[in-house]
């Protein structure tokens, strides 16, 4: 199959659909990979690296789209890219169609076969192509929180670990899923004092096995949160109720009761945020202060560590790309119901119920 990878054109997006190691796997299986020039430059992968992996370098995006049977990307196609898609061409990338009618309309009109990373499921119903970005964001949340607690960022001037003779910081993590458990692992390595809350007892039991008493694990109730808020130096928001807006677990009143210079990192901001005082921020201006509490609410945290994120994403997407290339889309999707769940738009029809419902359309 001819597989094309255009350079990402969304603002500040440095990730790339296929890293060189993925290209090498595909070319060794007999597939032909077209890479737009400089597609990997933002994460240190040169055109020469891609040539070494067996790719052909193409000077413009239009030729990549015209010659490829399948396009592999990271972000949803932008308007100019959508106009280059054609009937029967496979598009495999993050789409996030439900809040985006212009994109949905263009993908319907293109009659392309559009498979979204974010709706692919595995045998236990989890989202294997979203999980790597949650791992990145969870681990990064402690790094972001640590910086936010520094004096120069408006924080109370705390080192998470403390030093011998000075106590460590108190970190509260709301949610113990992929983001929360990864945050806890890093916080533990930093020797902070950690409390993690979740509503799922199975999740708490599994974390109990892993952490062996080094993290305090609590069932998440308003009362538990009320008690923890005044003592917390850093609170990480990592809850998710799939498909719903994040519950507001920390109210504006709670924020008023926090210590001046303490920090909130709302990873769940992409679902509306789980702190009442949160609003989305960017990597250029990641923090703001409400009632002396520093808020970090960046909606695309993995974008700041594009190289790690691109490799993590490829580790998850590569088996699916190989299946599509080896078997063709029909057999690849019919062989795996979880992969089929990734199909969002096909030959002019919406094939994902949630997307159809979002616009009151048939599917």
- Interface residues with ligand NAD (CB under 6 A) are 133-134, 137, 174-180, 197-200, 203, 220, 238-241, 246-247, 249, 267-271, 299-302
Q: Give the sign of the dihedral formed by CA 71, CA 34, CA 5, CA 78.
A: negative
60, 36 contact by CB (below 8 A): yes
Rounded to a whole number of angstroms, the minimum distance from the CB of residue 118 to ligand NAD is: 9
- In this structure, the dihedral spanned by the alpha carbons of residues 317, 16, 88 and 120, taken in order and rounded to 10 degrees, is 30
Interatomic CA distance for residues 265 and 236, integer angstroms:
5
The residue annotated as part of the active site, out of 49, 96, 279, 292, is 96
Burial class (CB in 10 A: 0-12, 13-18, 19+), 361: middle
Q: Which is nearer to ligand NAD, 30 or 243 (CB)?
A: 243
Q: Which is nearer to ligand NAD, 35 or 174 (CB)?
A: 174
Helix (H, G, I), strand (E, B) or coil at 164: coil
Respond yes or no: is residue 336 known to be catalytic.
Answer: no
The residue annotated as part of the active site, out of 254, 270, 295, 336, is 270
Q: Which is nearer to ligand NAD, 143 or 323 (CB)?
A: 143
Rounded to a whole number of angstroms, the minimum distance from the CB of residue 306 to ligand NAD is: 13
Interatomic CA distance for residues 198 and 274, integer angstroms:
13
Intra-chain end-to-end CA distance of the chain, in Å: 29
Locate the DSSP E strands across 245-320: 263-266, 287-290, 293-296
Residue facing ligand NAD at closest CB distance? 177
Rounded to a whole number of angstroms, the minimum distance from the CB of residue 313 to ligand NAD is: 12
Rounded to a whole number of angstroms, the minimum distance from the CB of residue 14 to ligand NAD is: 15
Locate the DSSP E strands across 90-169: 90-93, 113-116
Residue with the two structure tokens 């992969």: 339
Interatomic CA distance for residues 266 and 158, integer angstroms:
19
Q: Which is nearer to ligand NAD, 70 or 269 (CB)?
A: 269
Respond yes or no: is residue 270 known to be catalytic.
Answer: yes
Rounded to a whole number of angstroms, the minimum distance from the CB of residue 274 to ligand NAD is: 8
Q: Which is nearer to ligand NAD, 110 or 119 (CB)?
A: 119
Active site (catalytic) residues: 96, 270
């Amino acid at each position: 199959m001819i597989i094309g990878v255009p350079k990402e054109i969304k603002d500040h997006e440095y990730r790339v659909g296929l890293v060189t190691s993925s290209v090498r796997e595909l070319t060794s299986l007999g597939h032909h990979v077209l890479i737009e020039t400089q597609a990997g430059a933002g994460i240190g992968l040169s055109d020469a690296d891609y040539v070494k992996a067996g790719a052909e370098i193409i000077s413009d995006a239009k030729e990549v789209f015209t010659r490829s049977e399948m396009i592999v990307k990271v972000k949803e196609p932008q308007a100019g890219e959508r106009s280059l898609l054609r009937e029967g061409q496979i598009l495999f990338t993050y789409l996030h169609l439900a809040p985006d009618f212009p994109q949905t309309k263009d993908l319907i009109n293109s009659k392309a076969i559009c498979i979204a990373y974010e709706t692919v499921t595995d045998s236990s119903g989890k989202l294997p192509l979203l999980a790597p970005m949650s791992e990145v964001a969870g681990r990064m949340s402690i790094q972001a929180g640590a910086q936010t607690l520094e004096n120069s960022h408006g924080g109370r001037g705390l080192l998470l670990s403390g030093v011998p003779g000075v106590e460590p910081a108190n970190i509260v993590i709301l949610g113990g899923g992929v983001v929360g458990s990864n945050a806890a692992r890093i916080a533990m390595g930093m020797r902070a004092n950690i409390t993690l809350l979740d509503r799922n007892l199975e999740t708490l039991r599994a974390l109990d096995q892993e952490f062996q008493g080094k993290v305090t694990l609590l069932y998440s109730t308003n009362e538990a949160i009320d008690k923890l808020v005044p003592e917390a130096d850093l609170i990480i928001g990592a809850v998710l109720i799939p498909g719903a807006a994040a519950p507001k677990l920390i109210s504006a009143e709670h924020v008023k009761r926090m210590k001046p210079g303490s920090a909130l990192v709302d990873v769940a901001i992409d679902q509306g945020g789980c702190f009442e005082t949160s609003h989305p921020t960017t990597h250029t201006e990641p923090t703001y202060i409400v009632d002396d509490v520093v808020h970090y609410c960046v909606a695309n945290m993995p974008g700041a560590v594009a190289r790690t994120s691109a490799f993590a994403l490829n580790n998850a997407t590569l088996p699916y790309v190989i299946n599509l290339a080896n078997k063709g889309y029909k057999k690849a999707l019919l062989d795996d119901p979880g992969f089929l769940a990734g199909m969002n738009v096909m030959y002019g029809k919406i094939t994902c119920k949630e997307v159809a419902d979002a616009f009151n359309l048939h599917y």
